[in-house]
Amino acid sequence: MSPPTADWIQLHDRFYRKQEIYTMLWKQVDLSKYMLAAAPFGGPLALVRDDRKVLLLQKQQPIKPSIYLYTSSGKLMETIQWEKGHIVGMGWTETEQLLCVLEDGTVRMYNILGEYTQFSLGKDAKDNRVIDVQFWGTGLVALTGSFQLIAITNFDEPRPLFLADPGINEPPHSWTVIPPKFTLSRHVEVLIAHNSTILVVDATEARDERLQQGPFSKMSISPDGKYLALFTADGKLWVVSTDFQKNLSEFATRSQVPPQQLVWCGTDSVVLYWDKIVLMVGPYGDWIKYTYDDAIFLIPEIDGVRVISMDKCEFLQKVPDATENIFKIGSTAPAAMLYDALDHFEKKSPKADENIRSIRLELADAVEACIEAAGHEISHQYQRSLLKAASFGKSFLDIHNADSFVEMCKVLRVLNAVRYYEIGIPMTYTQICEYLKMRTDRILIHWACSKIKKSNDDEDTICRMVVEKLANKPGLSYSEIAMTAHKAGQSKLATMLLDYEPRAGDQVPLLMSMQEDELALVKAIESGDTDLVYHVILHLKRKLQLGEFFRIINNKPLACNLLESYCKQQDPELLKDFYYQDDRTVDRANLTLMESFRQKDSTERINTIKGALRIYQEDKEHTFEVKAIEDSIKLLQTQVQLEKDYSQPFSGLSISSTVYKLITINQSNRATKVRGDFKMPDKRFWWIKLRALVEIRDWDGVATLAKSKKSPIGYEPFVEECVKAMQFREAAKYILKCDAHLRAGLFLKIEAYQEAGEQAFLQKDLDTLREIRDKCPNAVIQGQIDGYITQLASSR
């Protein structure tokens, strides 16, 4: 076993290591002849012959190119026959879908099984061709032949978005994108090396950073989006912050030729690649050089760089702190002492005890450090010996929570399994951390879907296989699996599988595509999700004949209610049909009636109302409504006449308001006539007349009304309306006509204290008398009232 530090190289104050992970399974792949894109986190590689590079045509190679999907260990997973045009760029999304951008602006998105969907970058891209493209995990930016930038920021709903015109008329020396999550504006920004400067372009503007150091032939953004590495024309590597405010480092490579690749290794060093030479430059200008025999390809990861060459896959990274502490030569860190102690222990040396004693206080930390370091090791031996050291240290502790130990063992099992060369995913501990909590369900579903697609067994067998495998996972969603079967043309299988779906709502989309319309609606209603019901209703509406549509809806109350409220807002005509076929007389009539209120022309309006009337007349129980609607027609006709006679607007007013208005324009006789026409009750007419007369301050009119006959509403309203109009003298005229017990209170309201007192005295109302006395400002009257009070009090 070679010492763990064998492949370490010091770069200033830190160590880097380059470990071989795989010997490639592929044979004789000359990377220099291919265009290559690799998914991050140890993901797969996509290779396609680079048609700009000359390739000797060999016998066994087909003329039409193919896209090959390989694992990191060089195992071929899938071959995609390529029959479309020239691929400008390839990249991977964060959901591991391969993107191929074509010259004509078409973007194809392949999953790992080679199935694809596609969309276009728009007409502009098609007309001017796409000349280059840059990707990030959730989007891409394409550069067109007219030097315009088109961005896609969401692959689920791809919508080409034009960025601001960078204003250049030649291809940039180099360019890159800052993903939205790293920018201040949270929109994607594009950096373009133009002349000696850099242009920063977003959706609204292109800003010139006014740099002198260019032209920059290569650039690269650090994995955390904070720094930008640039390669200048005079061969300098220059690192600045992405806002160009901070100058971080400069390093002269003394190469006039720009590197083929410039990538970040973690966030603190930069790796450059020229033909067969790799140069890693640290932040303090230190460097390491590696040489290769053939072409290689660098894949930046969040914590290092994957190096793919013809015969191996290596990982170049900064030695993690935990590892460095333990293995660095001469380290006296507690964890190193612990690791050393285990060694002594195994050799039966008493130094083991000495070591442990010396770190007694930090032993718990040392155990944790060994556990962590185990996570960072690729070699199984070191994983084991580090865990052993942790376990050894643990036994000296009185209390120790073994959770992290157990957890790490689990993680390492997963890591070792995915790293196994047949699987070929060389993930690191740092990379995998956040993915470990993933649900197994997704994986099982994924498995079942692939099974269905690839299997040649009959439908019953597949169904049994799937169900057996998933049986111990109650609550797992079968609808996606069933959908896959349906798409694969296995409808029977789809139906069988769908029966296992526990969620009503999830069955709906598949039932819809299986043409099981009514069942889909039933399931949607069952789910309680009204929007899902809408979804089905609207789908059925588009698809079916009206009669058939109503037949399915009619016996389902929720569907009917929802259709009704949708129609009220969006489709009144459909609503009429719906009411008609369902015999809903009242609704149909009211709907027609309400329509009339939106019509300006009165003839038209009357016609519509008559329509409503006819509907109501269909039924005998609606005599009240029939009468009311007849009245409303009569009212409209009357109003038309009134508008002619008095050139004033009347339509829209109610009967009461019409009468009221007539009185306020001094047309009392006409008001009386209208009142008669509609048989308005006496009480209402008197109220209306009284209020209207008060409004126009026609006090004589009020008096005449009061005298005309015995008021059906009494005389209190006369007093109160006058009081409200602040006409106390007028009000006084009617108080004596009111009920005796009310008079005192009414006089008090118009501040007639003397009269109020007299009336209260007559009624023997002591409480009111006292109230009057308190409010009265006049001492003489007060005296008088005091008199009444004594008189009444003594008579008790």
Judged by CB under 8 A, the chain residues 532 through 551 that form the site for other proteins are: 532, 534-535, 538
Please give the biggest Cα pair distance in the chain.
136
Long-range Cβ contacts of 4-9 (<8 Å, 24+ apart): 4/323, 4/327, 4/377, 4/379, 4/382, 5/327, 5/328, 5/329, 8/319, 8/327, 9/288
One of 203, 574, 665, 732 touching other proteins (CB under 8 A): 203
367, 476, 553, 781: which one binds other proteins (CB under 8 A): 476
Candidates 312, 446, 451, 691: give the one binding other proteins (CB under 8 A): 691
Identity of the residue, 29 or 524, whose beta carbon is nearer to other proteins in the bound complex: 524
Residue of the chain from 117, 349, 607, 657 that contacts other proteins (CB under 8 A)? 657
How many angstroms separate the first and last alpha carbons of the chain? 122
Task: 240-245: list long-range contacts, CB under 8 Å, 24+ apart.
Answer: 242/178, 242/182, 243/184, 244/198, 244/209, 244/211
Q: Rule CB under 8 A: is residue 285 a binding residue for other proteins?
A: no
Q: Which stretch binds other proteins (CB under 8 A): 12-20, 360-368, 484-492, 556-564?
A: 556-564
**161-180 binders of other proteins (CB under 8 A):** 161-162
Stretch that binds other proteins, among 95-103, 264-272, 357-365, 593-601 (CB under 8 A): 593-601
Kindly state whether residue 762 participates in binding other proteins, applying the rule CB under 8 A.
no
Residue 417 CA to residue 425 CA, distance in Å, equals 9
**Per rule CB under 8 A, count of chain residues that contact other proteins:** 78
- As measured in angstroms, the least distance from the Cβ of 253 to other proteins is 32
Q: Which of residues 479-518 bind other proteins (CB under 8 A)?
A: 502-503, 505-506
Tell the smallest beta-carbon distance from residue 79 to other proteins (Å).
Answer: 35
Binding segment for other proteins (CB under 8 A), chosen from 186-194, 233-241, 273-281, 361-369, is 186-194
Length of the chain equals 796
Q: Which is nearer to other proteins, 98 or 192 (CB)?
A: 192
Q: At what angle do helices 557-570 and 572-581 cross, to 10 degrees?
A: 140
Q: Does 303 bind other proteins (CB under 8 A)?
A: no
Name which position in 321, 720, 758, 786 contacts other proteins (CB under 8 A).
720
Asked if 570 touches other proteins (CB under 8 A), the answer is: yes
Closest contact distance (angstroms) between CB of 297 and other proteins is 34
Minimum Å distance from CB 672 to other proteins?
Answer: 16
Q: From the CB of 783, what's the least distance to other proteins, in Å?
A: 29
Contact by Cβ (8 Å): 740, 759: yes
- Toward other proteins, which CB reaches closer, 548 or 682? 682
Q: Which residues 6+ apart lie within 8 Å of 515 measured at CB?
A: none
Binding residue for other proteins, selected from 517, 625, 730, 765, defined by CB under 8 A: 625
Question: Which class for 443: exposed (0-12), middle (13-18), buried (19 or more C-beta within 10 A)?
Answer: exposed
Q: Please name which of 211, 237, 239, 219 lies closest in space to residue 227, comparing C-alpha atoms.
A: 239
CB closer to other proteins, 401 vs 570:
570
Shortest distance, position 699 Cβ to other proteins, whole Å: 19
Q: How far apart are CA 681 and CA 336, in angstroms?
A: 105
Out of 564, 577, 758, 771, name the contact with other proteins by CB under 8 A. 564
- Cα–Cα dist 204/190, whole Å: 12
Q: How far is the CB of 401 from other proteins (least distance, A)?
A: 19
The 379-418 contact track toward other proteins, x by CB under 8 A, reads ----------------------------------------
Residues 215-274 that bind other proteins (CB under 8 A): none
Q: Are 173 and 194 contacting, i.e. CB atoms less than 8 angstroms apart? A: yes
Segment interacting with other proteins (CB under 8 A) among 169-177, 260-268, 675-683, 734-742? 675-683
Question: Which pair of tokens denotes residue 290?
Answer: 């590696």
What string of DSSP letters covers 315-342?
A: EEEEPPHHHHHHHSTT---HHHHHHHHH
By C-beta, is 529 or 758 nearer to other proteins?
529
Q: Which of 196, 391, 530, 763 binds other proteins (CB under 8 A)?
A: 530
CB-count burial class (<10 Å; 0-12, 13-18, 19+) for 185 = exposed
Q: What are phi and psi of 66, to 5 degrees?
A: -130, 155
Using CB under 8 A as the binding rule, whether residue 647 contacts other proteins is answered as no
- Side-by-side strand order, sheet with 189-194: 174-178, 189-194, 197-201, 206-208
Phi and psi for 188 in degrees, rounded to 5? -65, 145
Stretch that binds other proteins, among 428-436, 488-496, 513-521, 524-532 (CB under 8 A): 524-532
Nearer to other proteins, 29 or 188 (CB): 188
Beta carbons of 454 and 466 less than 8 angstroms apart: no
Selected from 30, 51, 115, 205, the binder of other proteins by CB under 8 A is: 205
Distance (Å, rounded) from C-alpha 740 to C-alpha 734? 12
110 touches 100 (CB < 8 A): yes
